[in-house]
A and B are shown apart, each in its own frame.
Chain A
Amino acid sequence: MGETMNLKPLGDSALLISFGEVIDEETNDRVHALAGAIEKAGFEWLVEVVPSYSSLAVIYDAKLIDFEGVRQAIERIEFSAEKFEGRLVEIPVLYGGKYGPDLEFVAEYNGLTPEEVIEIHSRPIYRVYFLGFLPGFAYLGRMDERIATPRLEKPRLKVPAGSVGIAGKQTGWYAIESPGGWRIIGRTPLRLFNPSKEQSTLVQPGDRVKFVPIGEDEFEELYKAEWGHEND
C-alpha cells in the first residue's frame, strides 16, 4: 500500500505521512490503520502519532533516531485498511430549548420544522475523522446539506461544554467551554473531555458517532450522573 504514501519531514522531530489532500472515508481508514500499526510496533523512539483526514504525523525522539531511520521503519510497516473499524458511540442530545438556542433559526433558514432538523441531524452515523483544534473536538463527516447553516455573524463569548452545533456544512460539538460561532441546536449531558480521566475523551479518532435525541428528564439525570452535580 506504500505506493501513494508520501513521507516528508515536519521539522526535525516529526515525520508527516500523507495519502494526498483528500477527505474521504477510504483514505481516512488507511490513516487510522497505519496509525494503529505504528503504535503497536513498539518503536522505542516513538513519542506519539497524530492522525488527521488524509495524513498523520509521527512524532519521534530525535535523540534516538534521525528522519531517515524513521522513514525506513515506517516503510517496512504492513497494514491493512480493510480491517480498520472504529467503535460506535451513542451521544444523547437534548435538542432545542435553552440548550439549543439556534434550532429554530436553523429550521427557518432551511425551510424546515425544528422536528425535521432533529430528525435529519440525528439519523446518520457520523465518522470521527480525527480529533483536533481543541481538546476533544471531533472532525465529523458528513452532515446532510439540507440543514447546512452559516455561522453566527458575531460569535458567542461563551458556549457551554457539550453544545452541539452546525457551522456551514459541518456538524460538531464544543467539548470544553469556549467562545464560538457555531449555530447551537442542542446539548449532550455527557462529558466530551475530562482531563482528570486517563480516557479523557468520549470518542477516539476513527470512531463512529450517533446522536440520540433525549428529553429533559433524561438530560438532567444523565448530567448529574456524569458531572456529579445538577446542571445550572
Chain B
Amino acid sequence: MIELLRVPSLLTVQDSGRSGYRKLGVPVSGYMDDYSARIANHLVGNPGNAPLLEFLLMGPTLRFNASAVFAVAGDVDVKLNGAPVEPWASYWAKRGDVLEIGTLRSGLYGYIAFAGGIKCEPLLGSCSTYAKAGLGRPLKAGDVLNLGYAILTGKEGCRLPEELRPDYSAEEITVGVVLGPDLDHFTEEGVRMFLSEAYTITPESDRMGYRLDGRAIEHSEKGAGIVTSPLVPGTVQVPPNGKPIVMMRDAQTTGGYARIGVVASAHLHRLAQLRPGFKVRFREMSVEDARNEFLKKEKTLEAIRLFLGGRLRAYRIKAGEKSFIALAGNV
C-alpha cells in the first residue's frame, strides 16, 4: 500500500489502454510514452501493461505503508528517505519509507512502477484514467493505492544500462508519418510544406492532442472539413487555420478535420515527450517501413524485458567516444 503525500502536477494511473470500446466513443487512453512505461514495469518484473503511475513533469512524494519494489523511469532526481537513488533501476522500499521524485530535466512524462502493479478495478477492460467519462480520476495528496501481489516477481537491483535509456532532451526531432488518408484535401504544396517545415509544440497540448504551430498547410478546394470519420492516436488533423494537431492517447475516436497523415506508432512516444516550444519534423514513411519500425521497437522492448529478467546478458561495445549495448544469450 502506498500513500501519496504530495502531488504537484497531473498524476494518473495508466496501463496499455482500452480496446474494444472505440465504437462507443471511448478513447484508447493509456500511457503517453509506452517505451518508458513498459521498461519501468519490466524493471520491477511486471508485464509491460501493468497499471503504473504517470506524472507530468513534476513527480509526487509518496510513502510506502508496506514494503514493495519500485522503479522510476525518467530523467529525474529520485530520493528514498532523503538519499539519492537512480531512476531506471529497481529498489526495495520498507514500510514507512518515503519516495520523493523531483522535476524531469528532459521529457514531459515520467513513470513509477511497483512490483505487482497498482491494484485497481478495471473499467471497460483497463485501469487507464480517462476522467472526463468517469474512468478513474487524477490522483491527489492523501490518496492511498493498493498494490497487486508480486510473489515470484519483484526483483530489486535491476538496472537499465545508460545506453538503453531514452534521451528526450533534443529540442527538435523527426518522426515518420504515413501519409493520408485525406491527401485529396491538401494541395501538393500543402503536403510539401508539412514534410519540410519544423512545427512547434504549443502550450495548448495535453493527453488528448498536441497543437502545433508553424507555416500553415494549404488545403485543396475540398477544404479542411471531412465527413466525420475515425481517428487513431498519432493522426495529424489539419483544421481550417492550417496548423496541424496530432491526436494523442485520450483523443476522441472520430473527427471532422482532414487527416494529412498518421505518425508511425513506434515514434509517437518521442513526440509525446516533446515539450512545448520544441519542434518536430515529419518524414514520409511507407506503411511497410512504419510497421518495420514498430516490429523493431517491440523486439528491443522484448530484449530489454529478457535482460532485466536475467535471461539475456549485456555486452558493452566501445567505438571511439560512443558505446553501444548488445543484449545476447540463449532464449
Q: Which single residue of chain A is at the shortest CB-CB distance from B28? A: A59
Given the known inter-chain contacts A18-B181, A18-B229, A57-B232, please indicate yes or no for A63 contacting B133, CB distance below 8 A.
no
Is B26 part of the contact surface with A, judged by Cβ < 8 Å?
Answer: yes
Interfacial residues of chain B within 232-284, with CB under 8 A of chain A in the complex: 232, 234-235, 252-254, 259, 262-266
CB distance from B185 to the nearest CB of A (A): 10
CB distance from B284 to the nearest CB of A (A): 12
Is B215 part of the contact surface with A, judged by Cβ < 8 Å?
Answer: no
In angstroms, Cα B25 to Cα A81, docked, is 23
Q: Are B135 and A16 in contact (CB under 8 A)?
A: no
What sequence of 0s and 1s flags, for each residue 205-245 of chain B, a beta carbon within 8 Å of any chain A beta carbon?
A: 00000000000000000000011111010110000000000
CB distance from B235 to the nearest CB of A (A): 7
Q: Are A137 and B25 in contact (CB under 8 A)?
A: yes
In angstroms, Cα B228 to Cα A22, docked, is 10
In angstroms, Cα B178 to Cα A165, docked, is 38
CB distance from B167 to the nearest CB of A (A): 23
Select A12's contact among B132, B134, B228, B294, beta carbons within 8 Å. B294
In angstroms, Cα B22 to Cα A35, docked, is 13
In angstroms, Cα B290 to Cα A133, docked, is 27
Given the known inter-chain contacts A62-B291, A196-B123, please indicate yes or no for A55 contacting B25, CB distance below 8 A.
no
Contacts of B124 in A (CB 8 A): 195, 200
Is B141 part of the contact surface with A, judged by Cβ < 8 Å?
Answer: no
CB distance from B141 to the nearest CB of A (A): 25
CB distance from A117 to the nearest CB of B (A): 26
Is B170 part of the contact surface with A, judged by Cβ < 8 Å?
Answer: no
Contacts of A134 in B (CB 8 A): 25, 132-133, 252
Select A135's contact among B25, B180, B230, B294, beta carbons within 8 Å. B25
In angstroms, Cα B222 to Cα A12, docked, is 25
Q: Are B235 and A10 in contact (CB under 8 A)?
A: yes
Q: Which single residue of chain A is at the shortest CB-CB distance from B236? A: A11
Is B204 part of the contact surface with A, judged by Cβ < 8 Å?
Answer: no
Is A171 part of the contact surface with B, judged by Cβ < 8 Å?
Answer: no
In angstroms, Cα B262 to Cα A62, docked, is 15
Is A50 part of the contact surface with B, judged by Cβ < 8 Å?
Answer: yes
Contacts of A147 in B (CB 8 A): none
CB distance from A175 to the nearest CB of B (A): 8
Is A193 part of the contact surface with B, judged by Cβ < 8 Å?
Answer: yes
Is B24 part of the contact surface with A, judged by Cβ < 8 Å?
Answer: yes
Select A11's contact among B20, B254, B265, B295, beta carbons within 8 Å. B265
Q: Are B230 and A62 in contact (CB under 8 A)?
A: no
Q: Are A52 and B26 in contact (CB under 8 A)?
A: no
Most chain B CB within a 10 A radius of its CB, from A9, A196, A201: A9
Q: Are B253 and A50 in contact (CB under 8 A)?
A: yes
In angstroms, Cα B288 to Cα A60, docked, is 14
Q: Are B178 and A201 in contact (CB under 8 A)?
A: no
Q: Are B263 and A11 in contact (CB under 8 A)?
A: yes
Q: Which single residue of chain B is at the shortest CB-CB distance from A49? A: B23
CB distance from A54 to the nearest CB of B (A): 6
Select B24's contact among A21, A23, A131, beta carbons within 8 Å. A131
In angstroms, Cα B202 to Cα A149, docked, is 34
Q: Are B133 and A130 in contact (CB under 8 A)?
A: no
Q: Are A195 and B22 in contact (CB under 8 A)?
A: no
What sequence of 0s and 1s flags, for each residue 159-184 of chain A, a beta carbon within 8 Å of any chain B beta carbon?
A: 00000000000000001101000000
In angstroms, Cα B208 to Cα A133, docked, is 12
Is B66 part of the contact surface with A, judged by Cβ < 8 Å?
Answer: no
Given the known inter-chain contacts A22-B227, A176-B134, A195-B134, please indicate yes or no for A11 contacting B232, CB distance below 8 A.
yes
CB distance from B285 to the nearest CB of A (A): 8
Q: Are A11 and B178 in contact (CB under 8 A)?
A: yes
CB distance from B208 to the nearest CB of A (A): 11
Q: Are A57 and B230 in contact (CB under 8 A)?
A: yes
CB distance from A7 to the nearest CB of B (A): 9
CB distance from B54 to the nearest CB of A (A): 20
Select B252's contact among A59, A62, A66, A132, beta carbons within 8 Å. A132
Is A136 part of the contact surface with B, judged by Cβ < 8 Å?
Answer: yes
In angstroms, Cα B173 to Cα A222, docked, is 55
Is A95 part of the contact surface with B, judged by Cβ < 8 Å?
Answer: no
Select B25's contact among A56, A57, A131, beta carbons within 8 Å. A131
Q: Are A59 and B23 in contact (CB under 8 A)?
A: no
CB distance from B224 to the nearest CB of A (A): 13
Most chain B CB within a 10 A radius of its CB, from A18, A53, A135, A205: A135
In angstroms, Cα B266 to Cα A99, docked, is 47
Offer 20 A-B interface pairs, CB within 8 angstroms, sorted by A.
A8-B180, A10-B180, A11-B262, A12-B262, A12-B265, A12-B287, A12-B294, A47-B19, A50-B230, A52-B229, A53-B227, A53-B228, A56-B230, A66-B288, A130-B254, A131-B253, A132-B252, A133-B252, A178-B132, A201-B25
